[in-house]
A and B are shown apart, each in its own frame.
Chain A
């Protein structure tokens, strides 16, 4: 399937402050993570995707169309904002019912869908009669996700949806998002909680200072990042011997012996060659390996590398 979002030389300024700086990239189908520190341009990008802002220059299209004031396209997009502000005096069902009517649903249908979605996002029924102003941060996140799903969008854009959720809440939210993705909904999710994004997403876009530093799958990112090296921690009975064998075979860029004695830190030159020869070299060395940890596969490390 072709890209959901296509961005060409997009810039966005707020007065003299630059939100996005001449970026070009594509966002593919499935679950995609938007990664970046505060001020990286994530929310600006999301607000242009959802038709709240226009680009200062360049183009951004979603499903091939420009989002600004485009109801036909907005019918296909659901948006869950980062900010927590919700109408103070309404209960969740009434609020969702009103938004459902604005989304073109009939009265009874809108109410029924509101209730179904509140159940789907696992907001306990005993809280439905309360006003939104009485809700905790986690409960607000669930209601915000429910409103994004009201018109059954094909593409869901979530800005920091895990904020304020406790670990169980995060797990439940992740479960809901995986269910939606399995049902064919494309999801763009921004977060600074990289571990959670990593568990959820297939692809990533890494932003910083209004620029796209890298994008693609985790493996693509790792390959694309210049100077990248696979890193392993190996616990074994003779770390010095193993390091010498591997280094002599030319598969290492470097290594370090841990002061504790039985841990060896390896910096791999070419992962493909390394893993082809790893078993053969290990058997040849006669070293007994107790544990192997791959450090360099984490999104955190890729993120740290590209934002350094």
Chain B
């Protein structure tokens, strides 16, 4: 909730550029992926670190179902947080007399829904791989989202942020300000959803086959 508060404190009245930067680069481009990584990376990892995973994996359900159930719970929380944040940012825009705020809000909220899905699923996989999932996530962010995402060929489709930007570029003010194209936004949504499914399948398979031993994991 610090995000809308800081936006209200730092943005001047009627200044569209700052408001767009805040929403597009800071909120959707940085805070959303980071928060998803922190929340979903911890969903299994915290159980391992706290040594409480045994209470879950000995329940009568498959490990894949358990993993997906945990993901759905974290996802519900992420969607709630992003909904509240999106609405508060809209409120900040209205208070600061930003003319684009009402029309941009819908796209920011939709970006939040998709970002939670895809970055949550990726964060879950990172959390299964290592207890330093935030470091792994940052490395992924620098290499894939920042590095590959800026290569001007089709390989930049690997960047999930690129597709979220395409979605935001459907708004004329964003398109004009950043000179982004919204042509691929439909495909981008499909890629985001496809990546979500792929990451969930990978996470469920990893969780099904990996053993977690609290004392061993602490060393990794």
Contact = CB atoms under 8 A, between A and B. Distances in A.
Nearest to A82: B54
A50 B58 contact: yes
B56 interface: yes
Instruction: Output the residue of B57, B63, B69 with the most chain A CB within 10 A.
Output: B57
A129 interface: no
Interface stretch (A66-74, A188-196, A226-234, A273-281): A66-74
A74 B63 CA distance: 12
A89 to B, nearest CB: 11
Interface stretch (B21-29, B133-141, B151-159, B208-216): B208-216
B3 to A, nearest CB: 24
Contacts of A87: 50, 52
B149 to A, nearest CB: 37
A151 B52 CA distance: 18
A52 B51 contact: no
A51 B58 contact: yes
Interface in A46-72: 47, 50-54, 69, 71-72
A102 B61 contact: yes
Contact of B54 (A79, A102, A103): A79
Given A14-B213, A14-B216, A52 B62 contact: no
Contacts of A102: 56, 59, 61, 66, 69
A54 B211 CA distance: 8
A88 B47 CA distance: 11
Given A52-B211, A54-B211, A72 B60 contact: yes
A31 interface: no
Given A14-B213, A52-B211, A53-B211, A69 B54 contact: no
A81 interface: yes
A104 interface: yes
B54 A81 contact: yes
Interface size class of A (residues with CB under 8 A): 20 to 34
Nearest to A76: B60
Contact of A83 (B51, B57, B58, B216): B51
Contacts of A103: 59-61
A236 interface: no
Contacts of B54: 47, 50, 52, 79, 81, 83
B56 A79 contact: no
Contacts of B211: 52-54
Interface in B28-69: 50-52, 54-63, 66, 69
B208 to A, nearest CB: 6
Nearest to A69: B63
Nearest to A73: B60
B61 A71 contact: yes
A77 B60 CA distance: 9
Contacts of A99: 55-56, 59
Contacts of B50: 85, 87-88
Contacts of A83: 51, 54, 214
A83 B216 CA distance: 15
24 contacts: A14-B213, A50-B54, A52-B54, A53-B211, A53-B213, A54-B211, A71-B60, A71-B61, A74-B59, A74-B61, A75-B60, A79-B58, A81-B54, A81-B55, A83-B51, A83-B214, A85-B50, A85-B51, A88-B50, A103-B60, A103-B61, A104-B60, A147-B55, A151-B59
Would you list the 10 A-B pairs with minimal beta carbon distance, nearest first? A75-B60, A85-B51, A79-B58, A74-B60, A71-B60, A102-B59, A81-B54, A50-B58, A71-B61, A83-B51
Given A77-B58, A85-B51, A88-B50, 18 more contacts: A51-B57, A53-B211, A53-B213, A54-B211, A69-B62, A71-B60, A72-B60, A74-B59, A74-B61, A86-B52, A87-B50, A87-B52, A99-B55, A99-B56, A102-B66, A103-B59, A104-B61, A151-B59
